[in-house]
Amino acid sequence: MSKKPNNAEKVINENENKQGEFEKNLTIRTPTKGRRSSSIKGAAGAMDERQDSEFDQPLPGCFQKVSKITNDKIDENLAKIPYFHGFLLHEYQPMILKTFGDFLIRVSIRYPKKAGKTSREKTVNSNKGKKSKEKSKEQSNDGSIRFNVIIGVCIKDQDKDKVDHLDETKHEIIDVPMTIEQNIDGKWIHFYIDKKKKFGSIEELTDYYRHYTGFYRDKKFSLYKGIPMTSWELDRTHVEIGTKTLGEGAFGEVKSGTWKCTNSDSRETNTPLPVAIKMLKGEESKVAMKEMMHEARLQLCLRHKNVLKTYGVCILKTPFMIISEFCENGALREYLKKNKVDIEDKLRFCLGSARGVDYLHGKCLIHRDLAARNVLLNDAKVPKIADFGLARYGNSYKMSSVQKTPIRYLAPETLQSYKFTQKTDVYTFGLVMWEIFENGQEPYVKPQQHMESIVPKNGTIRVGHLKEVMKNDLWIKFNSETPPTLQTFVAEKVFVYDEKKRVTMIEVVALLKTLVRKDQSYLKDTMATQTVG
């Protein structure tokens, strides 16, 4: 008589052939908040049930790897996954993944390499050459751009050289590519990291690696906790794009619109806010995407009355968007050109803008692109510093000579050595104040009378002229409308060749406060003179 097995004998010993037993016997049920739980019979076991039907097809090549991911495919397969983060860039994952086992899913775009490979890229052995051709063919089967689904996961740092003597746990984030196969109808049916283990859904795949360690390029990983979108990753369905175009740039345009701000404590949305929507033209430019995300990341960390507020980004699908507060009066330059502005308001524009720049410097930021065109006015005519595409953290930044820059706004040390500091921002802000008192005119376009020894009368000031003007202390001068105190301050402490002798933004703000609050007698006298005249 055979012995009846007891309950203990039925329990799977995970230490003995753990993976094989999992595939044969274990059923995992994964509760997902807000959605029905999914069940798998040990990952590969789930595949076994289907292999007698759709997976075991005699037709060769009936499955094809997915290389193009459209918005429709995102809606159909990815958008409902709570830990899907759209086209989030790799370098922004550390902001989201903090703990061992934290993971997210994102889409990465692989752009074609430019012509002209290095000798190392050209030199391959015959075996590698064959693989390279196959890979090249695969990448180009849908044009020049290839899409990949990536699992970004936080792992324990396995580089012993990086671990200090205190035995603290170090973490790093790796990108694990997930291959997706579709049938002839375009339906996604296979998902895998290791092609020996294919799954019927992304949920099944993440369930498996939640319980069992995965390996990718000699790195161990586990998918313990899928991290949902952050507060600055906005739901595109809450954004409505308007018809008015507010501006255009090299990579896209800015449109008016509204955004329903979701209350984190409830599912209800507040009254739609008017917003400005900066949209990328498409996914064709990796540079454009990086610049957009760089700008958004900087602005999301900034909160000041005189700095444009950014609410977040929409990157689940294309086109990518930055959602910022709407400034009804538009760019300061255009406002000055279209409206008659009195001296008091001009001084207030200077003071508000200066406070914004001073705040940025307090955050260890260099704006690098200060100009009246990059200052916006809201409905109360409060100036706000905007356009952080060129901004950089740090005390100094060395620019590559091939970058596009607004030459007429560059400080002398930048023209000489391509160096930017907070002191170069101070110099440029002096030109912003000049623009304000010149009703939005750009500086150094035409020579002033005192520059005619260097620049021909009615000629155009070029880079060589500009350098000579600076070396000879023939700086641009303010008009007679400008308060004399401000003219003297800028001439002696802002427009100076030696950056060490230049004041800080704190001192600029202090001077402007004095003019706005205490120099009322000058303003009254000036206004009286204008009235009599």
Question: pLDDT tens across 211-247, in order?
Answer: 999 999 999 999 999 999 999 999 999 999 999 999 8
Q: What is the pLDDT averaged over residues 305-334?
A: 94
**pLDDT higher than threshold 90 for residue 111:** no
Query: Which CATH superfamily does the domain covering 332-532 fall into?
Result: Transferase(Phosphotransferase) domain 1 (1.10.510.10)
Q: Would you state the pLDDT for residue 156?
A: 83
- The Cα–Cα gap between 43 and 21 comes to 11
| 47-61, 305-319, 424-438: least confident range | 47-61
User: Residue 18: CA atoms inside 13 Å, Cβ hemisphere, count?
Assistant: 7
Q: Which helix (H) or strand (E) holds 120?
A: helix 119-122
Q: Per-domain residue ranges for the chain? A: 65-112+143-226, 236-325, 332-532
**pLDDT higher than threshold 60 for residue 39:** no
3 state SS of 355: helix
What's the whole-number average pLDDT of the chain? 81
Query: Residue 28: pLDDT band by 50, 70, 90 thresholds?
Result: very low
Q: What is the pLDDT of residues 395-435, one digit of tens each?
A: 999 987 657 778 999 999 999 999 999 999 999 999 999 99
Q: Would you state the pLDDT for residue 36?
A: 42
- The Cα–Cα gap between 149 and 138 comes to 16
In this structure, CATH architecture of domain 65-112+143-226: 2-Layer Sandwich (3.30)
Report the catalytic residues: 369
Candidates 3.60.21.10, 1.10.40.60, 3.30.200.20, 1.10.3720.10; CATH matching 236-325: 3.30.200.20
Check: CB of residue 326 under 8 Å from CB of residue 256: yes
Is 278 within any annotated ligand binding site?
yes
Assess whether the region 236-325 and the region 332-532 belong to the same CATH fold.
no
User: Percent of the chain having pLDDT more than 70?
Assistant: 73
* DSSP line for 159-205: -GGGS-TT-PPPEEEEEEEEEEEE-TT--EEEEESSTTS-BSSHHHH
3 state SS of 115: coil
Q: Would you state the pLDDT for residue 118?
A: 46
